[in-house]
Amino acid sequence: ERGEYRHYMLKEIHEQPVAVADTLEGRLLDGQILTGIFGPQAVQLLKQTEAVQFVACGSSYHASMVAKYWIEALARIPVSVEIASEYRYRDPVVPKNTLLVTVSQSGETADTLAALRMAKSLGYLAELAICNVPESSLVRESALCLMTRAGPEIGVASTKAFVTQLTALLLLALELGRQHGLDATRYRDGVTQLEHLPQAVADALKLDPEIRVLAERFASKHHALFLGRGRQFPIAMEGALKLKEISYIHAEAYPAGELKHGPLALVDEDMPVIAVAPNDHLLEKLKSNIEEVRARGGQLIVFADKSVSRGITHPQETLLELEPCGELIAPIVFTIPLQLLSYHVAVLKGTDVDQPRNLAKSVTVE
Ligand code: F6R
- Under 8 Å between Cβ of 227 and 283: no
* pLDDT per position as a tens digit, 110-121: 999 999 999 999
**Quick check: 366 pLDDT over 90?**
no
**Quick check: 40 pLDDT over 90?**
no
What atom in ligand 1 is closest to the CA of residue 56?
16
State which H helix or E strand residue 280 sits in. Answer: none
Q: Which residue type does 20 have? A: V
The Cα–Cα gap between 226 and 233 comes to 9
356 Cβ closer than 6 Å to some ligand 1 atom: no
State which H helix or E strand residue 85 sits in. Answer: helix 84-87
Closest CA to 63 of 172, 217, 144: 172
- Could you tell me the distance, in angstroms and rounded to a whole number, from the CA of residue 339 to the centre of ligand 1? 15
Q: 13 vs 103, 139, 157, CA distance in Å?
A: 20, 25, 10
Question: Please, what's the b/e burial string for 308-318 (b: 16 or more CB within 10 A of its CB; e: otherwise)?
Answer: bbeebbeeebb
The Cα–Cα gap between 56 and 116 comes to 10
- Could you tell me the distance, in angstroms and rounded to a whole number, from the CA of residue 49 to the centre of ligand 1? 27
Q: Which residue type does 248 have? A: Y
303 falls in which pLDDT band (50, 70, 90)? very high
Q: How many CB atoms lie within 10 A of CB 114?
A: 17
Measured by CA distance, the residue closest to atom 7 of ligand 1 is: 157
ipTM value greater than 0.95:
yes
**Active-site residue, 285 included:** no
Q: What is the mean pLDDT of residues 188-204?
A: 98
- Could you tell me the distance, in angstroms and rounded to a whole number, from the CA of residue 308 to the centre of ligand 1? 33
Closest CA to 302 of 329, 272, 336: 272
